[in-house]
Structure 1
Amino acid sequence: MKYQGLPRRPGRRRTATAVSVLLLPLTLSSLAGCSDDGSTAAPPVASPAATASGARCVTDPPASEEGADATPAATGAYARESGDKAAPRKKSFRAKKRDVSAVLVSGSGQVSTRDSKISKRGSTTSVDASGNHGLNAAALARDGGRLALSGGKLITKGKGATAVFASGKDARATLSGNIIKTTGGSARGVSASYGGEVGLTYVEVDTAGAQAAPVAVGPGGGKVTVSGGTMTSAGCGSPGVQTAGDVSVKGTLFDLANSEAFTVESGGSLSLKDVRATAAAGGVVLRGEDTASFSMTGGSVQAADGDLFSVRQAVADIEVRGGAELKTKGGALLRVRDKGIATFTADNEKLKGDVLVSNGSATLDLTGSTRLDGAVAGASLTLDGRAKWSVAKDSWVKGLELNSGASVADSIDGNGYSVTYDRSSSPGLGGRTYRLNGGGTLRPA
Structure 2
Amino acid sequence: MSIPQERRVVTAIPGPKSRELLARKQAAVPPGIGTALPVFVTRAGGGVLQDADGNSLIDFGSGIAVTSVGNAAPKVVERVRRQVADFTHTCFMVTPYESYVRVCEKLNELTPGDHDKRTVLVSTGAEAVENAVKIARHATGRPAVVVFDHGYHGRTLLTMTLTAKNMPYKEKFGPFAPEVYRVPLAYPFRWPSGPENCAEEAAEQAIDMITKQVGADNVAAVVIEPIAGEGGFVVPARGFLPRVAEFCRTNGIVFVADEVQTGFARTGTMFACEDEGIVPDIITTAKGIAGGLPLAGVTGRAEIMDKVHAGGLGGTYGGNPLACEAALGVMETIEEEDLVARARHIGDTMLPRLRALQERFDVIGDVRGRGAMIAIELVEPGTKVPNPAAVQEIVRRCHAEGLLVLTAGTYGNVLRFLPPLVIPDHLLDEGLGILEKAIAEL
Same fold (TM over 0.5): no
* Largest Rg, 1 or 2: 1
In the superposition, the TM-score normalised over structure 1's length comes to 0.23
In the superposition, the TM-score normalised over structure 2's length comes to 0.24
Report which of the two has the higher share of helix. Answer: 2
Report which of the two has the higher share of strand. Answer: 1
Q: Higher RCO, 1 or 2 (CA under 8 Å, sep at least 6)? A: 2
